Amino acid sequence: MAYLIKGVSILGAAPTDLAVTDGLIAAEPAKNAEVIDAAGLVALPGLVDVHTHLREPGREDAETVQTGSRAAALGGYTAVCAMANTSPVADTAGVVEQVWRLGREAGLVDVQPIGAVTIGLAGKQLAELGAMATSAAGVRIFSDDGFCVADPRLMRRALEYVKAFDGVIAQHAEEPRLTEGAQMHEGEVSTRLGLTGWPAVAEEAIIARDVLLAEHVGSRLHVCHVSTAGSVEVLRQAKARGVRVTAEVTPHHLLLTDELAAGYDPVFKVNPPLRTAGDVAALRQALLDGVIDVVATDHAPHAVQDKECEWSYARPGMLGLETALPIMLSVFGEKWDLIADRMSVAPARIARLDGHGGDLTKAGTPANLTLVDPSARWVVDPGALASRSRNTPYAGMTLPGRIVATFLRGEATVLDGKVVK
Ligand SMILES: NC(=O)N[C@@H](CC(=O)O)C(=O)O
Ligand SMILES: [Zn+2]
Ligand SMILES: [Zn+2]
């Protein structure tokens, strides 16, 4: 299929025509090109998520690779990295190849499996990192996300191991002894509500330790879902010293605060917890400064019975794929260069996903892109989302920006705001 995307603004620049032929950006449109009227639309390189929970295998009642891929394409994504906390855990070449194959079959986004760092996420023994790296799935990111690799010796060994093939360890930074029984952020609101808190230092202490380990080993560390102002300062100092560390922030940590726990609606329960307005401000500034490299969704679908129950029993986590770009637009406005870098270019570089996050103004770039209508407004209806789950914290909110079309290697996955297949 060939396309001529007419009158589109690439990253907010003056309107132009964008030709797509044989999977690539082309200098001239093909004769048989299908014309898309893109007046008023903005083209971005296809978004890349380095932190998505697709729940397959094991919790297909909450999400599958297929439903999660639909949600991703509708959110403007062309690649997602699938977290390893499935059942069975993605800790062998067999499981990561299964997820990778399911992604190919769905065919809507590139699904890049993340491998577990330790067997069963148990934090005791290293998983077969090399076998996962050399498998058909070509794993590059390893994470025990959901759990922290708390044992410093194991963390050191993991960093040493992946250095050989330029892999990266993505850490869920949570000192488990400091978060036992935690239900929300530890602070004024938790005191008022009488809920056990997760103190900021439980995150900051692990990040501080891990940047020192990464510096010692000379290996790559990625920090998942950074949520506190103190974490930002640790990262700022580490980067200034030249440590090979990258970090992500979620859309929800850029917008929502711990005050939302006061209504005891478990839709706002997430790990790490929603923090204070001061933390939100520091995270926004860190993303602008580049101290935080990327926005990652931490899309965490949960079945109704795991979410619509009493706060203390509810699983932590919230949906993110279909609302990430609109939340970014509502927080930062139409800062297209920032959005493209933090949501596509930088995540593609961290995950080493060649062909994603490319320059759309250059002929020959793989045609992974999304078209956004920044003037559209829409109301979030949990039942209308493509995800199999409904646990969005934005229900009923009016958000700016609608994803009109998404292209994966020149083939439309979304057109007119609907999944093509
Ligand atoms: N973020 C969450 O609250 N939950 C995630 C796990 C995680 O990202 O730590 C999940 O798998 O549900
Ligand atoms: Zn996590
Ligand atoms: Zn996660």
- 326-351 pLDDT, tens digit each: 999 999 999 999 999 999 999 999 99
Distance of CA 341 to the CA centre of its chain: 14
pLDDT band, very low/low/confident/very high, at 169 (cuts 50, 70, 90): very high
| 373 a catalytic residue | no
Q: In this predicted model, what pLDDT tens digit does every residue of 192-221 receive, in sequence order?
A: 999 999 999 999 999 999 999 999 999 999
Cα gap 204→186, rounded to integer Å: 14
pLDDT of residue 66: 98
Residues with CB under 6 A from ligand 1: 53, 85, 145-146, 172, 270-271, 298, 300, 315-317
Interaxial angle between packed helices 152-163 and 200-217, expressed in degrees from 0 to 180 and rounded to the nearest 10: 40
pTM: 0.98
By most ligand atoms within 8 Å of CB, the mutation choice from 298, 306, 387 for ligand 1 is 298
Cα(69) to ligand 2 centroid in Å equals: 20
Mean pLDDT of 149-163: 98
- CA-based Rg of the chain, rounded to a whole angstrom? 20
Average pLDDT, the chain: 98
Query: Residue 351 is which amino acid?
Result: A
**302 assigned to a ligand binding site:** yes
pLDDT of residue 421: 79
pLDDT(39) > 90: yes
- Taking a C-beta distance cutoff of 8 angstroms, is the pair 148, 176 a contact? yes
What percentage of residues in the chain have a pLDDT greater than 70? 100
**172 assigned to a ligand binding site:** yes
Nearest-atom index, ligand 1, CA of 224: 8
Q: In this predicted model, what pLDDT tens digit does every residue of 363-404 receive, in sequence order?
A: 999 999 999 999 999 999 999 999 999 999 999 999 999 999
pLDDT(145) > 90: yes
User: Which residue's CA is minimally distant from atom 4 of ligand 1?
Assistant: 317
- In a 3-state reduction of DSSP, which class is residue 205? helix
pLDDT band, very low/low/confident/very high, at 103 (cuts 50, 70, 90): very high
ipTM above 0.95? Answer: yes
Whole-number Cα distances in Å, 6 to 18, 55, 107, 327: 6, 38, 26, 27
Enter the tokens of residue 313: 């029993």
By most ligand atoms within 8 Å of CB, the mutation choice from 49, 53, 87, 114 for ligand 1 is 53
Pairing relationship of beta strands 42-45 and 369-379 according to DSSP bridges: antiparallel
pLDDT of residue 362: 98
Q: In this predicted model, what pLDDT tens digit does every residue of 228-276 receive, in sequence order?
A: 999 999 999 999 999 999 999 999 999 999 999 999 999 999 999 999 9
Query: Residue 352 is which amino acid?
Result: R
Q: Comparing C-alpha atoms, which of 387, 295, 302 is closest to residue 74?
A: 387
Question: Which of 49, 91, 210, 298 does the annotation list as catalytic?
Answer: 298
pLDDT of residue 265: 98
Mean pLDDT of 128-150: 98
Q: In this predicted model, what pLDDT tens digit does every residue of 306-324 receive, in sequence order?
A: 999 999 999 999 999 999 9
Domain 47-358 has CATH 3.20.20.140: yes
